[in-house]
Amino acid sequence: MKAAPAPHSETARQWVHIASGLFALLLRGLNGWQAAALAAAALLFNVALLPRVGGRRLYRPVDHHRGFPLGILLYPLSVLLLMLAFPHRLDIAAASWGILAFGDGFATLLGRRASQQTGENAAIGEQHVFVATSAIPAVPSGRLPWNPDKSIAGTIAFVVFGSIAGAVLAWWVRPAVVPVPPLMFALVAPVAAAIVAALAETIPIRLDDNITVPATAGLVLWLASLTTTASLTASSAALGAALPWAIGVNVLTGWLGYRARTVSRSGAITGALVGAVIYAGGGLGAWILLLVTFVAASVTSRLGLARKERLGIAEERGGRRGPGNAIANCGVAAIAAIAAVTTPYPRLALAALVAALTAAGSDTVASEIGKAWGRAAFLVTTLRRVPPGTPGAMSLEGTAAGVAAAVALAAAGAALGLVPVAAIAMVAAAATAGALVESVLGATLEGPGMLNNDMLNFINTAVAAAVVIVFA
| Residue 456 resides in a domain | yes
Q: Is the pLDDT of residue 357 over 90?
A: yes
Question: What is the predicted pLDDT for the residue at 64?
Answer: 59
| Residue 454 resides in a domain | yes
Give the residue with greater pLDDT, 142 vs 139: 142
Question: What is the predicted pLDDT for the residue at 58?
Answer: 60
39-55 pLDDT, tens digit per residue, is 999 989 887 776 666 55
Query: Which of 226, 251, 279 is the last residue before a domain boundary?
Result: 226
Q: Is the pLDDT of residue 30 over 50?
A: yes
Question: What is the predicted pLDDT for the residue at 338?
Answer: 94
Say yes or no: 253 and 273 in one domain. yes
378-390 pLDDT, tens digit per residue, is 888 887 888 776 7
Percentage of the residues of the chain whose pLDDT score is greater than 70: 81
Q: Is the pLDDT of residue 398 over 80?
A: yes
Q: Is the pLDDT of residue 289 over 80?
A: yes
318-337 pLDDT, tens digit per residue, is 556 677 788 888 999 999 99
Say yes or no: 333 and 455 in one domain. yes
Question: What is the predicted pLDDT for the residue at 367?
Answer: 86
Estimate the share of the chain in helix, then strand, then coil, as percent rounded to the nearest 5: 75, 5, 20
Q: Is the pLDDT of residue 86 over 50?
A: yes
| Residue 68 resides in a domain | yes
The backbone region for 316, taken as left when phi is positive above 0, alpha when psi lies in -120 to 50, beta otherwise, is beta
Say yes or no: 58 and 202 in one domain. yes
Say yes or no: 222 and 235 in one domain. no
What is the tally of structural domains in the chain? 2
Question: What is the predicted pLDDT for the residue at 372?
Answer: 75
Query: Which of 226, 251, 272 is the last residue before a domain boundary?
Result: 226
Say yes or no: 191 and 237 in one domain. no
From the list 127, 126, 156, 149, the residue with the least C-alpha distance to 205 is 149
Question: What is the predicted pLDDT for the residue at 176?
Answer: 94
Residue 341 sits in which domain range?
231-471
DSSP letters for 27-71: GGG--HHHHHHHHHHHHHHHHHTGGGGTGGGG--HHHHHHTS-HH
Say yes or no: 433 and 300 in one domain. yes
Say yes or no: 297 and 193 in one domain. no
Report DSSP state, residue 277.
H
| Residue 21 resides in a domain | yes
| Residue 349 resides in a domain | yes
Q: Is the pLDDT of residue 124 over 70?
A: no
Q: Is the pLDDT of residue 74 over 70?
A: yes
Say yes or no: 107 and 191 in one domain. yes
Say yes or no: 244 and 222 in one domain. no
Residue 144 β-bridge partners:
147
Say yes or no: 382 and 401 in one domain. yes
Question: What is the predicted pLDDT for the residue at 292?
Answer: 95
Q: d(Cα 227, Cα 118) in Å, to the nearest integer?
A: 43
| Residue 210 resides in a domain | yes
Residue 379 β-bridge partners:
393
Question: What is the predicted pLDDT for the residue at 430?
Answer: 97
Residue 247 to residues 60, 132, 241, 242, 325, Cα–Cα distance (Å): 48, 48, 11, 9, 20
Question: What is the predicted pLDDT for the residue at 129?
Answer: 36
Q: d(Cα 183, Cα 97) in Å, to the nearest integer?
A: 19
| Residue 221 resides in a domain | yes
Query: Which of 185, 204, 226 is the last residue before a domain boundary?
Result: 226
Range in 109-123, 342-356, 428-442 with the lowest mean pLDDT: 109-123
pTM of the model: 0.79
Residue 142 to residues 153, 154, 236, 456, Cα–Cα distance (Å): 7, 10, 40, 28
Q: Is the pLDDT of residue 82 over 80?
A: yes
| Residue 1 resides in a domain | no
63 pLDDT band, cuts 50/70/90, is low
Say yes or no: 210 and 73 in one domain. yes
Say yes or no: 242 and 391 in one domain. yes
Mean pLDDT of the chain: 84
Question: What is the predicted pLDDT for the residue at 308?
Answer: 57
